[in-house]
Structure 1
Amino acid sequence: MRLGHLLKGNDTKRKSNRRIIVIEDDVDDEDEEDEDEEETSEEREERLEKERQDRIKNKPPLSQIFNISDFEFVAKQVLPLGTWGYYSTGSDDEFSLRENHYAFGRIFFRPKCLVDVTKASTESGEIFGATFDAPFYCTAFAGSPMAHPDAEKNLILAAGNEKIPYLVPIQCSYPLDTFMSFAKPGQENFHQVHFYTEEQLKNAPEYFKNIEDNYPNIKAFFINVDLPCLGNREKDSKIRAALDPSVNDGLSLFAAPTIKYLNLTWNDMEKLKNSTKIPIVLKGVLRKEDVLKAAELGLGGCLLSNHGGRQLDFAMPPIEILAQSRKLLRENGIKDEDFKMFIDGGIRRGSDIIKALCLGADAVGLGRPFLYAMASYGQPGVERAMQLLKEEMLRDMKLLGVNSVKELNEDMVDIESLKFKGISSSDILYNSNYTNMPPPPFTK
């Protein structure tokens, strides 16, 4: 059984399943073998690459892309297997990866009628002194060069054209000064930061001061706090293990299990906060109690995230933690405008963004969807993905009976079913793109 077959279309998947049954039944039937069973590994890789190049030549035009999941479908067909595995995988059995999205399917709207919505707008409220055309942003993601040769340049240009923020990664393909020169004049963004060594942490105040002095349009630092070690991204490892070793050389920079990050503490956060005038947001918070602690420490905000389901499996979906956290903050006298709340993970529709805003988010991050759009269509694909989300948001806001994001609140949603894990409406688009965990491949 070939690993490549598991990542292709439904016809191939049915064939693979049939062959698994043959193995389990211990049936020795030469007629069940495919003609290409005797391929050498080199011949197989050459054939699969030729098929991929054919799919690239025949991919749908951008005009035939109608939603975010369409980008994911195309990316799955045109990306190399190793790259797709790295981008799409979660940790362990991927319960958190799937639940991130399924949780949104347990939240339902409570729309108002007979409201004049002719002036409805998706414009964000003020976020660290800036406003944007929509309250969502392109989040940081390591490995962008594997999706497109221009890498993150596509993302910051698209974000500038669509006037939404980009979370500029510290692990970027370009030197920071070069990369920030791509930004449009006046374009406002955030900056994601993490540390590998004590020396980097020690030099953080100097680094922050350089940002303050030279890049005034960086409105906040998002510091990773969920990386004491890397999660077990097992599906990614299985996919890469079946590929030519040379393929893994390019992936190892981002996916090697030997990568170590510095283990940060609350004391470190207090020192970092006192070293800069730019607000600090904790990226990767997963407990409402830690959200409250961050607010009481005087930090700028929290990004509720389980790293796209790539760190601790069975970590709760961020949307559920959001519902708990904003309530706890208000109970402790912390005003919404004094502490910003962000969320990422599993967002695939404008309606998902609206649900998060209703539950107290100031902005919502998307990572994989924009990578898939870039991998399939470059910068125009990313811009179209952002436009689709804006269009969906505006339409749904009108149908909800609201004119601005400021009117979105918990009264607009029913979250009674949110706490029931493992229960979700069947999402055909999401499920059709999900890649199952492959079993170990037999050589024959």
Structure 2
Amino acid sequence: MTDTTHCTTAIILAAGLGTRMKSSLPKALHRLGNQPMINHLITTARQVFDDVVVVTGPDMPELEQAVRPFRTATQTQRLGTAHAANAARDLFGDGDIAVLYADNPLITAETMERLLAARRQGASLALLGMRPAVPGRYGRIIEDHGKVVKIVEFKDASEDERGITLCNAGVMCAGAEDFRNWLEEVRNENAQGEYYLTDVVEMAAKAGSVVCVEAPEDELAGVNSRSELARAEATLQTRLRNAAMDAGVTLVAPDTVFFSTDTVLEADVTVEPNVFFGPGVTVHSGALIRAFSHLEGCTVGEGAMIGPYARLRPGTVCAAHTHVGNFVELKNVELGEGAKANHLTYLGDASVGRGTNVGAGTITCNYDGVFKHRTVIGERVFVGSDAILVAPVTIGDDALVAAGSVITDDVPAGDLALGRTRQTLKSGRGLQIKQSLKARKEQG
């Protein structure tokens, strides 16, 4: 367990149901970059704060599982943001705390650092603000001669107050003991009958000074609906694409490439248009990912060429200088150095040796309806087109599998395997059949 004495703590409020999402899934678990929103925030907060505590709602086992091993507190009734923060008061520790929101997942570590620095420079409380193009229903930050005096929620704001462009992002930072004291004083005398965390701003202003740290709208905008989730995804993808290009990756058409947050592309990787990177992908230097390919849970070696229209599924490792061509699907496959599967092929639960060529239309039959079985193909093997390899089966080094063969038994090294019926010729019969078909066509 984390020692909370004088450490900094991020308290993440995540009890919201996300009613506007029209979903049975807790709002904090909706995904950005193939990762739950809250995990983005936890990852960033851990770069700045010593500890993280997540406030969940009742009956949210999926959320509690997603945030492990971090500690959680439960808001048993949803009575407002101050009520939610108060649920975690025993986990504040003795240092500074920051209250964050799971539906603000894109706050950067730099902005969190600036918030913490503003607090440490002597402010009773530091908060984050923004100036959105459309202020909408955000709470307004009320200042007097450059000092923050209070925050007014949109529902309670006057017309003049609604005209203010500086909006509250919800995030604030103060000493743990001060926060505890302020939370005890918050009342629910407002239009919603809720306990607003924003009420502590006025208390902090009376006790000392409150400073506002401004950050860009796209970093602080909340996610409360599917359309806002899509906008946040667009912001995140722009960040990930820029980071990849800054690291030496060529994106031929950046706006068409979709990344997961854990995608790793080394320098000198080239990615053509319309490529999707699911979770768990690593691509090494010099590899080319061609257009319309889909990669997930896989590793691509140096100088490899994948696609176009290739699908790499979880467990696949393509070694250096391998080729995976159009309409080829690999699932849980080890493709040895220089091996090729260039056309219209499915390989599942297989090992393919160095320098092996797998012909067009080849299939490993890895599933018997109950169990999965593995196919082992050795080095320098040539597998002819339309071969069917019925697992479990092993093809030895330097073997040759004839096109159209169905292979059900192991093939020793260096052997030729023919698993097809013998060709039969019927003299003149082909011409007779054609003539018969033409006559039937003419007769209607």
TM-score by length of 2: 0.23
In terms of Rg, which structure is larger? Answer: 2
TM-score by length of 1: 0.23
Higher relative contact order (CA 8 A, sep 6+): 1
Name the structure with the higher helix share.
1
